[in-house]
Amino acid sequence: MGNKIQKDDAQWREQLSPEQYRVTRQKGTEPPFSGDHRVSDEHGIYHCVCCGAALFENEHKFDSGCGWPSFDRPLAKSAIEEHYDDSHAMRRIEVVCSRCDAHLGHVFPDGPRETTGLRYCINSVALDFHAGE
């Protein structure tokens, strides 16, 4: 992707709430069961809260019981990038927005077997839901 959005810290701080900034720009994690995107069954698309890129679709969300919105796949493979994350003494795969590098969450290999087998475990504060899209 050649069109990365680049802003400095002050610009992100101005645009985002403190919690959005902490999660997306400082690789934070919201407390489980704190987000407001876990129970919606509406049709719609989840956008990056930082840059507005379309990232996930509600049809691909499933109830993992883990306390964060969980998807079995991104809207498009190109919408996200995956990086190894060795923090917290474990190897996980970090998921970031491919357009602005916002930290979104992690992907784990314990998703629904009948579909992709993947669980994209995403912080709800990193997402902006547009119903009806």
Q: Where on the chain is the footprint of Zn ion (CB under 5 A)?
A: 48, 50-51, 53, 97, 99-100, 102
Sorted by sequence, the CB contacts under 8 Å of residue 44 that are 6+ apart come out as 57, 58, 129, 130, 131, 132, 133
Sorted by sequence, the CB contacts under 8 Å of residue 41 that are 6+ apart come out as 58
To the query of whether residue 66 is one of the catalytic residues in this protein, the response is no
Task: State the nearest-atom distance from the C-beta of 89 to Zn ion, in Å.
Answer: 28
Whichever of 61 and 99 has its CB closer to Zn ion, that residue is: 99
Q: Is 50 annotated as a binding residue?
A: no
Distance CA 124, CA 132 (A): 18
Whichever of 9 and 110 has its CB closer to Zn ion, that residue is: 9
Which residues are known binding-site members?
48, 51, 97, 100
